[in-house]
Amino acid sequence: MSAKVNKIREDFPILSRSIYGKPLVYFDNAATTQKPKAVVEAISNYYYNDNANVHRGVHYISQYATGAFEGVRKKVAGFIHAAHAHEVVFTRGATESINLVAWSFAETFLNAGDEIIISALDHHSNIVPWQVACERKSAILKVIPVTPEGELDLEVFKNLMNDRTKIVSISHISNALGTINPVAEIVKLAHDRQIPVFVDGAQGLSHGPVDVQSLDCDFYAFSAHKMYGPMGIGGLYGKTEWLNKMKPYQLGGEMIDKVTFERTTYNELPYKFEAGTPNVADVIGLGAAIDYLTVLGWEFIIAQEQDLLHYATMKLEEIEGVTIIGTAPHKAAIISFIIEGIHFFDAGTILDHLGIAVRTGHHCAQPLMDIIGISGTLRASMAFYNTRAEVDRLVDGIMKVKQLFA
Ligand SMILES: Cc1ncc(COP(=O)(O)O)c(C=O)c1O
């Protein structure tokens, strides 16, 4: 293990705990990443010293908390290269961001007979909200198919778009197979036909830099807990022109400009989409996570994760009976695999007893599993704090699983 990774692991106390007497190997980072001390401390410091409701207070701590909260909005905008901080709306996470746009965009722009395009690689969070929007508005949901390697079929995509297509929504990185989708190319193809594109970036922001302006996407959703930040907080990037035109998703305090019993006018962006008291402490935690990633730097993160991806892929391919599902050339450090003749739940349970945490099941991508013709996989998803030695532990674990079922 490199000295740098060794040092980084000290920032994550959970990585030195044991499970059933064995040192934990945490390979479930696509479900949620671990949190460095700096994030946890930022949250507790906020509650110990700075807790106050934001925006409406004249008193010192309220103003301080407001400054810290809005400072993180600017930080997020800088992190994803948004043109304006008001294009960043805080939400509970990627799921809420998708629901926000699926409801609000549909309410504002979708009519009977219109079409929405999603992809076969998507998480349920990027399927169900659009599906229900289509049901509500008598619109039609179309799906970009996936190739046997786990890539989106862009030739079919080009033909799916037509004059009735109102929005395209795709994931940046597939949580189930690890495929990194060619988002910029998809945006270009859609924009050539004046169709906006929503990107589900739940898995995107933890594996590499995101520049929403160069991607030119119209919306980008993310969750802090998948990028070393706290749970229950995330965000939505939206271009000003779209957010201004869309109806507010939730109603109440904060999102209003003027209220009378007859009529309400709405606040400016981003507050129009932030009804109620926000999750200030976790926004502060998100800011600390961004600081942490910024200090580490994408160059290191990408190099470390790609090394783990290639090493683990090579090692798993050597095991007889193991098949990797999803072999796209551009992948994040997420490997789905099956073991011939052994159910993923059985294998996952045995690995757990060896201290190895992998995810098992359909990974919230049941339609994709149906297309592949399986009910689920084992999934090892790695982060910059993981090591080749941990990959070796996984490989040994799989050999033990195979012996038990031989
Ligand atoms: C690709 C993708 N989209 C959306 C989500 C939903 O994210 P959250 O549960 O943080 O809202 C996930 C979570 O696993 C995901 O991997």
pLDDT tens profile 254-291: 999 999 999 999 999 999 999 999 999 999 999 999 99
In this structure, the residues whose C-beta lies within 6 A of any atom of ligand 1 are 93-95, 123, 125-126, 171, 175, 200, 202-203, 223
* Type and span of the H or E element at 61: helix 60-80
* Type and span of the H or E element at 399: helix 388-405
Are 323 and 338 spatial neighbours (Cβ–Cβ below 8 Å)?
Answer: yes
Give distance in angstroms: CA of 125 to centre of ligand 1.
6
Q: Is 217 tagged catalytic?
A: no
What percent of the chain stands above pLDDT 90? 99
**Three-state DSSP state, 332:** coil
What digits encode the pLDDT tens for the residues 285-308? 999 999 999 999 999 999 999 999
Q: What is the pLDDT of residue 2?
A: 86
Q: What is the pLDDT of residue 204?
A: 97
Give distance in angstroms: CA of 30 to centre of ligand 1.
9
Count the Cβ atoms, other than its own, within 10 Å of residue 258.
9
Q: Is the Cα torsion angle 204, 206, 212, 218 positive or negative in sign? A: positive
Q: Which amino acid is at 246?
A: M
| pLDDT at 344 > cutoff 60 | yes
Q: Whose CA is nearest to atom 15 of ligand 1?
A: 202
Cα 238 to chain centroid distance, Å, stands at: 16
Q: Which of 40, 189, 364, 374 is catalytic?
A: 364
Are 384 and 330 spatial neighbours (Cβ–Cβ below 8 Å)?
Answer: no
What digits encode the pLDDT tens for the residues 93-117? 999 999 999 999 999 999 999 999 9
Q: For the residues 354-370, what does the mean pLDDT come to?
A: 97
Give distance in angstroms: CA of 126 to centre of ligand 1.
8
User: Rounded to whole angstroms, what are the CA distances from 387 to 5, 70, 325, 382, 393?
Assistant: 8, 36, 22, 9, 10
- Burial of 183: CB neighbours in 10 Å, binned 0-12, 13-18, 19+: buried
User: Rounded to whole angstroms, what are the CA distances from 121 to 12, 142, 310?
Assistant: 31, 13, 22
What digits encode the pLDDT tens for the residues 176-185? 999 999 999 9
- Rounded to whole angstroms, how far apart are CA atoms 290 and 288? 5
Are 321 and 339 spatial neighbours (Cβ–Cβ below 8 Å)?
Answer: yes
Q: Is the Cα torsion angle 274, 165, 127, 85 positive or negative in sign? A: negative
| pLDDT at 56 > cutoff 90 | no
Comparing CA positions, the residue from 195, 203, 275 lying closest to residue 31 is: 203
Comparing CA positions, the residue from 129, 133, 119 lying closest to residue 99 is: 129
| pLDDT at 325 > cutoff 80 | yes
Give backbone dihedrals phi and psi of 136, rounded to 5 degrees, phi first: -60, -40
Comparing CA positions, the residue from 132, 126, 178 lying closest to residue 367 is: 126
Pairing between β-strand 115-119 and β-strand 165-171 as defined by DSSP bridges? parallel
Which pTM value belongs to this model?
A: 0.97
Q: What is the pLDDT of residue 1?
A: 57
* Type and span of the H or E element at 97: helix 94-109
Kindly give the interhelix angle for 298-317 and 388-405, rounded to the nearest 10 degrees: 30
Q: Which residue has the tokens 């919306």?
A: 219
User: Rounded to whole angstroms, what are the CA distances from 142 to 57, 117, 166?
Assistant: 47, 5, 11
Average of per-residue pLDDT values in the chain: 97
Q: What is the pLDDT of residue 57?
A: 87
Q: Whose CA is nearest to atom 5 of ligand 1?
A: 202
Give distance in angstroms: CA of 172 to centre of ligand 1.
11
Comparing CA positions, the residue from 211, 214, 138, 124 lying closest to residue 169 is: 124
- Rounded to whole angstroms, how far apart are CA atoms 280 and 324? 41
What digits encode the pLDDT tens for the residues 190-224? 999 999 999 999 999 999 999 999 999 999 999 99
Cα 52 to chain centroid distance, Å, stands at: 29
Q: What is the pLDDT of residue 173?
A: 98
Best residue for ligand 1 mutational test, from 125, 171, 219 (most atoms within 8 Å of Cβ): 125
